[in-house]
Amino acid sequence: MDRLVVTGGTPLSGSVPIAGAKNSALKLMAAALLAPGRSVIHNVPRIQDCVTMVEVLEHLGAAPAWTDGTLMIDATDVTPRETPYELVSRMRASILVLGPLLARFGHARVAMPGGCNIGSRQIDLHVRGLEKMGAQFHSEHGFFEATAQGLRGAVITLDFPSVGATENALMAAVAARGTTVIENAAREPELVDLASFLTGMGASIEGVGTPTIEIEGVDAFEPVEHTVIPDRVEVGTFAIAACATGGSVVLQGARADHMDLVFSKLADAGADVGITEDGVAVSLRSRPNEVDLVTLPYPGFPTDLQPQMMAFLAGADGTSIVTENVFESRFMFVDELNRMGADIRTEGHHAVIRGVERLSAAPVRALDIRAGAAMVIAALAADGVTEIEDMYHVDRGYQDFEAKLSLLGAAARRERELSVAFS
């Protein structure tokens, strides 16, 4: 496995380019399955999850070709072959081929996703939405077998504004006969990006970005060319890292309109946040104030920045309360932070963070993408040299992570351990 070795204490400064949004690109790649022909997606991040999704598409017969940040997907010869557990267990977003395959072929066979480090990650809301449009699901041997003799429009009311369930329903509804209404829909910017991609293919969608989306089914789709929106979670991660180190950075290409609550919470902590001609500037030269925050579906505070904020608030001048409402166990990394001298107690969905003067370096590990990013932020702010194991988690969601940190003046280097197999 490989580790990141970080020497803390250097305030980050400079400009860093922001990559395309992982949580949009993966869905656009799935949506490309709807249209025979060559779709072109620009600004696709070179991260492990996108490599995995390319494997899923290849497995289904699409011919993806990647040059720099542009992915060309020829979905002419796609067939609804089984999406294997090996790919789904590596990346849960693989289940988002369900909607497009049911829409185009009336059939899909996808391995059931396992849980992961932040919760059980059900897909009951995905299944129920697709069943409302006439799909039939049969589960056996760890697979979902889904069939539909022609999807038909329906009213789908989601118990929870699930991002994935909204996306799967949307990618099926665009081809369903008649009108579909998705109530209590997710409103994330990535959904808006997906709807823009689908509209470019010929879909008819109203209301995306609000809790009620209305879709008129159409019979055929054309391939499309599209550029992925910038990754708001990467923007937030580097903004928080700058604040945690008493630094000042410019996030090139950041969409401030996707980050209202994140920037407002950083301002509450004492940061200066300003729009520049090429992005957003964030700085904090003093010790942060304590800040309370509650994660909620968009436009609430994003759960994907909760671990990074916890690492930041561990050094605040006061006590902060963080409530995690989206996932049932997204505090697993707190024990790792406490090994670095943080004083955090969790009780169910709540965490009480008593700020300490300075964290101290200790060997720690990354537990998932965002927890790993949080450990890097803690290490950048800590006194001493921290080694973070299992950085493959972070590589799933961040392109050129340590290269970008080095660009901002951080002392961070990757060490790869050659795993020697003893026969």
Rounded to an integer, what distance in angstroms lies between the CA atom of residue 221 and that of residue 228?
19
Is the distance from CB of 195 to CB of 201 less than 8 angstroms?
no
Residue from 132, 370, 393, 404 that binds ligand EPZ (CB under 6 A)? 370
> Does residue 163 belong to the site contacting ligand EPZ (CB under 6 A)?
yes
Question: In the block, which residue shows the tokens 């081809």?
Answer: 175
Decide: helix, strand or coil at residue 76. Answer: coil
Is 50 designated active site?
no
Is the distance from CB of 380 to CB of 312 less than 8 angstroms?
no
Q: Which helix (H) or strand (E) holds 7?
A: strand 2-7
Residue from 46, 121, 339, 358 that binds ligand EPZ (CB under 6 A)? 121
Residue from 45, 217, 236, 397 that binds ligand EPZ (CB under 6 A)? 397
Span interacting with ligand EPZ, options 40-48, 160-168, 306-314, 380-388, rule CB under 6 A:
160-168
The closest residue (CB) to ligand EPZ is 164
> Does residue 136 belong to the site contacting ligand EPZ (CB under 6 A)?
no
CA atoms within 13 A on the CB side of 419: 4
Span interacting with ligand EPZ, options 35-43, 80-88, 124-132, 354-362, rule CB under 6 A:
124-132
Q: Going residue by residue from 5 to 44, which x/- string records binding to ligand EPZ, judged by CB under 6 A?
A: -----------------xx--x------------------
* Residue-by-residue DSSP string for 15-55: EEEPPBPHHHHHHHHHHGGGSSSEEEEES---SHHHHHHHH
Identified catalytic residue from 51, 72, 116, 321:
116
For the chain, the distance separating the N- and C-terminal CA atoms, rounded to the nearest angstrom, is 19
Question: In the block, which residue shows the tokens 């309360």?
Answer: 321
Footprint (CB under 6 A) of ligand EPZ, residues 69-98: 93
Span interacting with ligand EPZ, options 118-126, 207-215, 264-272, 313-321, rule CB under 6 A:
118-126
Is the distance from CB of 271 to CB of 240 less than 8 angstroms?
no
Q: Going residue by residue from 280 to 319, which x/- string records binding to ligand EPZ, judged by CB under 6 A?
A: -----------------------xx---------------
Is the distance from CB of 22 to CB of 49 less than 8 angstroms?
yes
In one-letter notation, the amino acid at residue 97 is V
Q: Which residues are known catalytic residues?
A: 116
Binding site for ligand EPZ (CB under 6 A): 22-23, 26, 93, 119-126, 160, 162-165, 303-304, 326-327, 369-370, 397
